[in-house]
Structure 1
Amino acid sequence: MKNYQDLIYKELSFKIVGLLYTVHNELGRNCNEKQYGDKLEELLKSNGILYERELVIPPSFPSEAKGRNKADFIVDDKIVLEFKVKRRVGRVDFYQLQRYLRALNKKLGILVNFQQLNLTPKRILNSDKIDY
């Protein structure tokens, strides 16, 4: 059984979550996704953390339109961040991030809903890449 020491990208993910809390504390819960992304981008730059923003996800089936899906952020070529600004995050959002993780061949994603009163980022694992 794996434990706390075995968290994937422990230091980087803790740093990212801290920055997400900073974004939420500074902007509140009534902004749009782009505003939250702009603020996080500013914080990533000021902390010297490498990232890509709005990376286009390759189509998952032949007739899918190219450029239809975009990951909000890929941090340090390791962690996929997906932002939501909605009343409640559901399974469809979880499955969306799972698809992105598989398409980009990444181990870890963080799903965050900025509209929540108390921010609770969710760590989502790519089960295809994890050794249990």
Structure 2
Amino acid sequence: MEKLKYADITEKIIGSAFEVHKFLGNGFQEVIYQRALAYEMKVAGLVFAREIEQPIYYKELKEAIGTRRADFVVEGKVLVELKAVTVLDDVHLAQALNYLKTYRLEVGLLINFGSKSMEFKRVVM
């Protein structure tokens, strides 16, 4: 079976997210989960940027057409978008896919801490 791209990184991120949800449960604001996940990813030895202005690219234009703050970009390769909602909707998945495309990244994780069980979706371009 073929290994998923950046599986070593995404496995550590998902493990870190499960640790956060195990300790905090659901019901907090997204920023609380973001801070806790930053701690756990640091413990896991991951290098990441948090809420850094990311350029939005359009087609083959070399210059960015705007910016957006991604929750995390891990190891310069994996986008991580956090939510703290009861149910993940298609709009959340579309947002993550749009960020991948415009940031020119290939792999992302959409992680939701708002439901009773932590849920995540792997998104790829």
Q: What TM-score, normalized to structure 2?
A: 0.86
Over 3 Å off, 4+ runs: none
Deviation of the 1:7 alpha carbon: 0.6
Q: Quick one: which amino acid aligns to residue 39 of structure 2? A: E
CA distance in 1, matches of 2:15, 2:43: 14
Query: Is contact 2:12–2:41 with CA below 8 Å preserved after alignment?
Result: no
Unaligned runs of 5+ in 2: 59-64
1:28 aligns with 2:36: no
Aligned equivalent of 2:36: 39
Identical counterparts, % of pairs: 29
Q: What TM-score, normalized to structure 1?
A: 0.82
Aligned equivalent of 2:122: 123
| Number of aligned positions between the proteins | 119
Offset from partner CA, 1:49-86 (integer Å, 9 cap, x none): 1000012233467xxx955x321000101110001111
Change (3 A) 1:89 1:60: farther
Pick aligned residue for 1:7 from 4, 11, 15: 4
Deviation of the 1:44 alpha carbon: 1.8
1:51 aligns with 2:48: yes
The structure with the greater share of residues assigned to strand is 2
Aligned equivalent of 1:75: 74
Deviation of the 1:38 alpha carbon: 0.6
1:100 aligns with 2:106: no
What SS does the aligned partner of 1:96 have? helix
Change (3 A) 1:87 1:7: same
